[in-house]
Structure 1
Amino acid sequence: MSSPASRSRSMRAADTDRIQVAQLLTDAAASGTIGVSEYESRLARAYAAQTCDELDRLSADLPGAITRGRSGTCRPAPSSTLLAILSGYERRGRWNVPKRLTTFALWGGGVVDLRYADFTAHDVEIRIYTIMGGQTILVPPEVNVDLRGVSVMGSFDHSIEGEGAPGAPCVRISGFALWGSVTVKRKKRKAA
């Protein structure tokens, strides 16, 4: 007969469980406990994990690790808007990615860098609007991307190299560019 603890570890992992382990791994990488290559490897396995036991094995040796018996709550960050009017914006480093993000650039530009960010939802929607400017979105190797956008006398990038990892967050990017550009690039994290 299996014990309650062994049954809970063999429970199927929820998206919230995977997001919590991803955040724990990000903390470990930021503090130097694990290196970038180990972080990316563990992160891909965390997003692909099917059970809580798999997630526990990936994070058991890290400070702050907990054994999951049930899915924790993980609330998405509030929707946000980034504006660049005759100016620019940058969203880089460690930050919480909301479920919905809107960006707007008028005669300006901006960069949304998701490589070091914490995803608070499995499915993220980014609406991006550019008029006579340019915006760039940088995504890490494991994230899945769905691009849909239009351009008039400008460009809206519809190609991104590489595939994301199974179970990793999916970023859906839509919007338009008028006399401007929207570029999406898959880019690796830099070693510390």
Structure 2
Amino acid sequence: MSNLTPRDASTRAADTDRIQVAQLLTDAAAKGRLQLGEYEHRLAKAYAAQTYEDLDRLTEDLPEATETTHRRGASKPAPKTLLLAILSGFERRGRWNVPGRITTFTLFGGGVVDLRYADFTSANVEIHAYSIMGGQTILLPPEVNLEVRGVGVMGGFDHNVDGPGTPGAPKVTISGFSLWGGVGVKRKNRKPGGSEQLSP
């Protein structure tokens, strides 16, 4: 059931509104109310939505929509995140809040940043990735938009990433460098039956 009055249903939605509906859809998928294909279909539509009415249509059959009120404009980006792997490793997988800025650093170590099941809290995400004699991989869901500006010096920094992303979806900008190391950037589909990854 819609939380909107007829008067504001045609009001243009903001990025924060689209992000909140995306999180609500993720909640529904985590509880098994949406199969993976339906979840990804609605997610793409949520990011492309222009009005509150467009967003409400995507959630009107979900109990999660009536359990929470629309907090339009009230969402706050998660705090900046620093992930370090010095003679060690880091992993950020499953359901987590993606901040507007992430810095990753590997030195004789490795790391994985997986955004496929994560909740975006900002429409623009900057990842500053640095690898020195180490390696890291950044996994992206199919819908995000991507710009890669990183440089490899006697090492590798992936720029050849398939897929254009979905209009209106969050934009991820990856910059940084690798020295005798590597930064891998890959789009990877979510796995069917991966609802455990969506659980908080």
Q: Which residue of 2 aligns with 1:83?
A: 84
Is the 8 Å Cα contact of residues 107 and 133 (structure 1) preserved in structure 2?
Answer: yes
Q: Which residue of 2 aligns with 1:149?
A: 150
Q: Which residue of 2 aligns with 1:139?
A: 140
Cα drift, residue 68 of structure 1: 7.5
- SS at structure 2 position matched to 1:29: helix
Q: Which amino acid aligns with 1:49?
A: A
Unaligned runs of 5+ in 2: 194-200
Cα drift, residue 72 of structure 1: 3.2
Is the 8 Å Cα contact of residues 130 and 181 (structure 1) preserved in structure 2?
Answer: yes
Cα deviation digits, residues 34-78 of structure 1 (max 9, x gap)? 000100000000000000000000011112215987833110000
Aligned residues: 189
Counterparts in 2 of 1:61-140, with a 5 A limit? 61-66=61-66, 71-140=72-141
Query: Which 4+ stretches in 1 moved above 2 angstroms?
Result: 66-72
Is the 8 Å Cα contact of residues 8 and 69 (structure 1) preserved in structure 2?
Answer: no
Q: Which amino acid aligns with 1:21?
A: V
- SS at structure 2 position matched to 1:177: strand
Give the aligned CA root-mean-square deviation in angstroms. Answer: 1.5
Is the 8 Å Cα contact of residues 28 and 64 (structure 2) preserved in structure 1?
Answer: no
Counterparts in 2 of 1:161-172, with a 5 A limit? 161-172=162-173
The alignment's TM-score, normalised by the length of structure 2, stands at: 0.91
The alignment's TM-score, normalised by the length of structure 1, stands at: 0.95
- SS at structure 1 position matched to 2:46: helix
CA distance in 2, matches of 1:150, 1:190: 30
Q: Which residue of 1 aligns with 2:47?
A: 47
Identity of aligned residues (%): 68
Cα drift, residue 151 of structure 1: 1.2
- SS at structure 2 position matched to 1:22: helix
Q: Which amino acid aligns with 2:75?
A: C
Cα deviation digits, residues 16-35 of structure 1 (max 9, x gap)? 11000000000011111100
Q: Which amino acid aligns with 1:45?
A: K
- SS at structure 2 position matched to 1:6: coil
Unaligned runs of 5+ in 1: none
